[in-house]
Structure 1
Amino acid sequence: MARTWTESDIPSQCGRRVVITGANSGLGFETARALAVRGASVVLAVRDVGKGEHAAERIAAIAPAAEVGVVWLDLASLYSVHEAAAELHAKYDRIDLLVNNAGLMYPPRSTTRDGFEMQFGTNHLGHFALTGLVLELLLRAPNPRVVTVSSNAHRFGSEIRFHDLHWEQSYDRIRAYGQSKLANLMFTYELQRRLSSHGSTMLAVAAHPGASDTALIRNSPAMVRRLAPFVAPVVAQSAAMGALPTLRAATDPAVLGGQFYGPGGVGQVRGYPRIVSSNRRSQDTQVQHRLWRTSERLTGVSYPF
């Protein structure tokens, strides 16, 4: 049996500057905390600055020597994404690691400020735009990485619905979430292919947390929310355990671009992180390329490849 990988396996992060979206709670907070403890300078990119500052104080109490900053970022607004990217450019000379962690799951149908279906716009398009806008900062680092948090729910997104990306004809919040998580994976795979073709040492990696006990469930159907207090202790793992696949993807020296990390237990629901597989649909290179072109058009952000 392969040896388990835990937080104690994270190598020193001294000298690395890390930006994590949605880092004020849940998986993002646990990721930021673990990296700060290992010496990283951490930037919490969050929608609620007050909550971000509180999270920064909690991390500082755990890791007093850590440098922790907060940047306003609302992924449901391209204006905010541009503002956050501009602030990062103004404050920092490079980014060593970008963790695209923030996410929204199962809300009633709504749209972002730019008219995108909320889950696709927040989970995929917002991160696509942010990554492109700070790519120059990433490429200044000696060994940069982008880790994008997907989900096993990518299997529920049977396709990228180019004919109705924003679910205007009919809305299924579970399938819409699956589409956004499928898009996260396709973005990672296409980004890595483009980086490799241009000889870049930057790595694009994906991860998923399995079933983790976080606030992400707050928009789930009422029956799921009622059962959660009884089912979660049996099925779900802690946010700290759920963050381990992201942390391994972000720090393990053996990681290769285009890999996907998730829990190693049955069904990838819980357990210690290992390389896992994604569904066949996520590996369709033609759809990956079409999604990339569509994302550039919708966000107005083009990558210099």
Structure 2
Amino acid sequence: MSNKTPFGPEGWMPARIGDLTGKTYIITGANGGAGFEAARILISKGARVVMMNRSAERSTAAVETLKKEFGPDTNVSFVRMDLAEMASVREAAADLLESEPRIDALICNAAIAQVATQQFTVDGFESQLGVNHFGHFLLSALLFERIEASSGRIVMVGSNGYKMGDNRIRFEDLNYDQNYSAWNAYAQSKLAQMVFGYELQRRVRAAGRSVEVHVCHPGASRTGLIRDTAGIVTRLLAVMLSPLAQSAERGAWPEVMCATEEGLELATYYGPTRFEMVGPVGACPLKAFVLDPQQAKDLWEVSEEKTGATLTV
């Protein structure tokens, strides 16, 4: 796919968003970084935002910050959820379905990255694959019917890191028990998330379901994503490159666009278009292996098996 910005030379901007009063947006990992900035933008347009975060303490602080900025009646709350625990995802989804009659978009923003040494979730998954893909797969499955009833959207926040690994899902060794590396495992986790997003997009369209699915990336943004997980060399490199990165707010623009903009294209990868790192938000190049239908089918089946969730579209 060629690089293009269908929103003009300046790309997509939040000024394009209309009044969102009465709409509800669910954002995972929204107590900091791009997720928090996405919440700020949506709230500024009148939306209700529900954060789904692991830390109750940081979530409370984030809610207080937003209410201080927008007023005490700001329509923002959080549900505690740990994407690394399938039981936590199920409990959080149940709480959300009980409290939220509509979901206009689920933004799958949370992630962990460059985990220095091989770690496992409580369910036995390599930590990055477990959090970034399996946790979001399960959450999407559990919330899908409510999202469709609201004619809503699912947004997968990918990463250009998907190109930095094996360029395929290692079904024979999902946990990277052989030759684990932080970059390869992270690349696989984001590739899996994106492959799932595009496959869900295809299945939804084929079935005529009332859900939009879009995939995006934040580019190079100052979000603190690797602060607690990466090795010292990776963290030092991130500090050195920080001046070249854009703000967390600009990093949030692609996911907010995918949650609100009308007329977005299928099989398209949205994000900053200048070297796919910064600059105007539009459509970015996408490697063909992300759209491989057999890989997508196999991943769907494995994901249902691993999470115990059936996502029928």
Superposition TM-score tier, normalisation by shorter sequence: over 0.9
Is 2:304 the counterpart of 1:296?
Answer: yes
Match of 1:117 in 2: 126
Unaligned runs of 5+ in 2: 1-7
Q: Is the 8 A contact 1:150 1:206 kept in 2?
A: yes
Choose which of 62, 79, 94 in structure 2 pairs with 1:86: 94
Identical-pair percentage: 39
Q: Post-superposition shift, 1:259?
A: 2.8
Choose which of 163, 172, 186 in structure 2 pairs with 1:177: 186
- Between the aligned partners of 1:84 and 1:126, the Cα distance in structure 2 is 11
- Between the aligned partners of 1:223 and 1:250, the Cα distance in structure 2 is 35
- Between the aligned partners of 2:50 and 2:39, the Cα distance in structure 1 is 8
Where do residues 107-186 of structure 1 align in structure 2 (5 Å cutoff)?
107=115, 108-141=117-150, 143-157=151-165, 158-186=167-195
Q: Post-superposition shift, 1:10?
A: 1.9
Match of 1:262 in 2: 271
Q: Post-superposition shift, 1:109?
A: 0.9
SS of 2:30's equivalent in the other structure is: coil
Code of the aligned partner of 1:166: N
- Between the aligned partners of 2:45 and 2:266, the Cα distance in structure 1 is 23
Q: Is the 8 A contact 2:161 2:187 kept in 1?
A: yes
Choose which of 58, 65, 82 in structure 2 pairs with 1:51: 58
What do you get for the CA RMSD once the two structures are aligned? 1.3
RCO (CA 8 Å, sep 6+): is it higher in 1 or 2? 2
- Between the aligned partners of 1:244 and 1:6, the Cα distance in structure 2 is 7
Where do residues 155-304 of structure 1 align in structure 2 (5 Å cutoff)?
155-157=163-165, 158-218=167-227, 219-233=229-243, 235-265=244-274, 267-304=275-312
Q: Is the 8 A contact 1:139 1:202 kept in 2?
A: yes
Choose which of 15, 19, 23 in structure 2 pairs with 1:8: 15
- Between the aligned partners of 1:100 and 1:132, the Cα distance in structure 2 is 12
Q: Is the 8 A contact 2:168 2:289 kept in 1?
A: yes
- Between the aligned partners of 2:120 and 2:237, the Cα distance in structure 1 is 28
- Number of residue pairs matched by the alignment: 302
Is 2:73 the counterpart of 1:63?
Answer: no
Code of the aligned partner of 1:33: R
Match of 1:32 in 2: 39
- Between the aligned partners of 1:241 and 1:277, the Cα distance in structure 2 is 19
Runs of 4+ in 1 over 4 A off after TM superposition: none
Q: Is the 8 A contact 2:158 2:217 kept in 1?
A: yes
Q: What is the TM-score of this pair, normalised by structure 2?
A: 0.93
Deviation track 1:72-131 (CA, whole Å, cap 9, x = no partner) reads 110000000000110011111121110000000011210011000000010000000000
Q: Post-superposition shift, 1:257?
A: 4.2
Deviation track 1:268-288 (CA, whole Å, cap 9, x = no partner) reads 011121011221110101101
Q: Post-superposition shift, 1:230?
A: 3.5
Q: What is the TM-score of this pair, normalised by structure 1?
A: 0.95
Q: Is the 8 A contact 2:107 2:156 kept in 1?
A: yes
Q: Is the 8 A contact 1:25 1:55 kept in 2?
A: yes
- Between the aligned partners of 1:181 and 1:130, the Cα distance in structure 2 is 16
- Between the aligned partners of 1:246 and 1:90, the Cα distance in structure 2 is 25
Using the TM superposition, name which of 64-73 and 291-300 deviates more. Answer: 64-73
